[in-house]
Structure 1
């Protein structure tokens, strides 16, 4: 197991290195003078721009610039925002609790609903429940996230507020440490926005893997021995079906922690995704690069954790 983990860890480091090269190439190779001009300001003269280039090291060879930038990243120095003049890493970390709360809650909600739906669909292929799961999966894949968010806003906030019912806030974020109840109320609709996209997909995935498990010889043997159907579903069918689901959920969670951009914009949540969008719109290069590296780091970490958990569940992975 230790050798397997070390191999996956080294592969993750290699992926992060390639991502850093790609990010540097996209943003630094080209016109370094424009970077200095953005940092110096629109009204800066050529002498000021040249001074900024020298101060930032933009006048040095590109390989030297890359390794300097990589060294800064490794020491957790993501640079300074052109727009707000605040450290990029501090700005990301200050917004991370909102994004993490949104991503973790949405995935948990989707999994808690999807597993029972997928199990019912697997035990009754061709039934109305099975068809409902298929429709949910297709709808989740087809409907844009912003459209689901706007629909929830209209029906569960706007229409209810017209009759004097204010169960859900219109948006924003309240830290859990300040008001747990307010934290939950502000996030329930954003959670539903993301969960509705994934519930059908997860349920369909559970259904497919459970149907395969229910057709195996050991399940038929257990039935022949008189084992109860509930026990067969829980111990022999559902458990092996959860391993592939963990992989799918882990990958989705890594992407969501990197920034739930659309949902944050719809519901007015100041998270990592909104921070990245503001950086793109204002041309704030350190913010854009920092959020891209931060998102890539989360995705790679979640991939590594998924590989480890999958190996713990299925010994065949370690043997391969």
Structure 2
């Protein structure tokens, strides 16, 4: 198991290197010069040359990439000051350290992810279990139909409807906003309640369908029927054998969703005007800000790879066959 995780960790590191190289190369394929954004309206060739030198854009692409990767590991010195590792450089747009900007936006994205995760896992897995244990009944049909309808919707469609119903029409809730949990836990909870609710509706549908189908499939397995034949209670067999066996595909999907959400819930943040890592990724592309784009891309990719690595470790606890292999 340890060797397996070690191989996956090395593979994840290689993937991060490839992502960074690909993103760096794609940036230089953009026809517009990013230094023009910092130069302003009354830009002269002399000022543009100075900006190129200050930003390091006058060097070959290979030299720029090497300086960037060296800064991630050991830090770099800039005109605005020293940047400690991990250093993703200084933003072309506002001369701020990229890592500091990401850290400033990350709490909102983490809050959005954790709150939504608790809701859609609780509702989705619970509804899937109820539907599976009542297969073929009206309860099963109701949950299956509701999950089918909700899974076909998108956050950018459902979000404005919920905002119009709960905020602008009735005034039952205030518009979404982020307040750090350390400052005011109640305001933090109320400010993110609507995004959590909309996210949970979308993701709950997927996890309801997934957990229902895998539980029904597990209930037909030979070891489950053998346990029933030995006289074990239905509740014990359901949770000890069927439920545990159904977790593998659910954990797989959860790892992908969790990594993507931590990397930046772009659609959710844009829909509810929240300034998290997802919004930062969009702004970095719009402003052609290479250091910011590289920083967001690498942090997002690292979250996805880390979650996949954790999923691989969890497999060993769920399925003993993984530990033996």
TM-score (norm 2): 0.90
Give matches, 1:34-73, under 5 Å: 34-73=33-72
Map of 1:140 onto structure 2: 150
Query: Whole-Å Cα distance in 1 between the matches of residues 186 and 205 of structure 2?
Result: 28
Query: What is the deviation of 1:197?
Result: 0.9
Q: 152-161 or 38-47: which moved more?
A: 38-47
Q: Are 1:110 and 2:115 matched, yes or no?
A: no
Equivalent-residue separation in structure 1 for 2:263 and 2:141 (angstroms): 33
SS of structure 2 residue aligned to 1:156 = helix
**Residues 1:140 and 1:67: Cα distance change in structure 2 (over 3 Å):** farther
Change (3 A) 1:87 1:244: same
Q: CA deviation at 1:69?
A: 1.6
Uncovered stretches (5+) of structure 2, i.e. residues with no partner: 74-84
On the 8 A contact 1:39/1:82 being kept in 2, the answer is yes
| Offset, 1:319 | 4.2
8 Å CA contact retained: 1:172, 1:270: no
2:182 is the alignment partner of 1:177? yes
In the comparison of the two structures, how many residue pairs are matched?
314
**TM-superposed deviation, 1:267:** 2.1
1:7 corresponds to: 7
SS in 2 for 1:58: coil
- Between the aligned partners of 2:118 and 2:35, the Cα distance in structure 1 is 44
Task: Tell me which residue corresponds to 1:279.
Answer: 284
The aligned counterpart of 1:269 is: 274
Matching residue of 2:82: none
- Spell out the pairing of 1:178-257 with structure 2 (5 A cutoff): 178-257=183-262
Contact 1:83 1:284 in 2 (8 A): yes
Kept in 2, the 8 Å contact 1:251–1:299? The answer is yes
Q: CA RMSD in A?
A: 1.9
Seen in structure 2, the aligned counterparts of structure 1 residues 288 and 135 have a Cα distance that, compared at 3 Å, is farther
State how far apart, in whole Å, the 1-side matches of 2:294 and 2:146 are.
Answer: 36
Partner of 1:121: 131
What is the alpha-carbon distance in structure 1 between the residues aligned to residue 306 and residue 318 of structure 2? 18
TM-score under structure 1 length normalisation: 0.91
**1:72-120: per-residue Cα shift (whole Å, max 9, x none)?**
2333222222332221111111111111010111011101011121112
Structure 1 stretches of 4+ with a deviation exceeding 4 A read none
Name the structure 1 match of 2:20: 20
2:102 maps to 92
SS at match of 1:67: helix
Report the counterpart of residue 89 of structure 2 in structure 1: 79
> 1: CA distance between counterparts of 2:188 and 2:305?
28
Q: Give the conservation status (yes or no) of the 8 Å contact 2:35–2:92.
A: no
Identify, as 1 or 2, the structure richer in helix. Answer: 1
Counterpart-to-counterpart distance in 2, 1:54 and 1:282: 19
* Distance in structure 2 (CA, Å) of the matches to 1:93 and 1:121: 41
Q: Which digits, 9 at most, give the CA deviation of each residue in 1:15-56, with x for residues without a partner?
A: 11111111111113455x812333333432112222332333
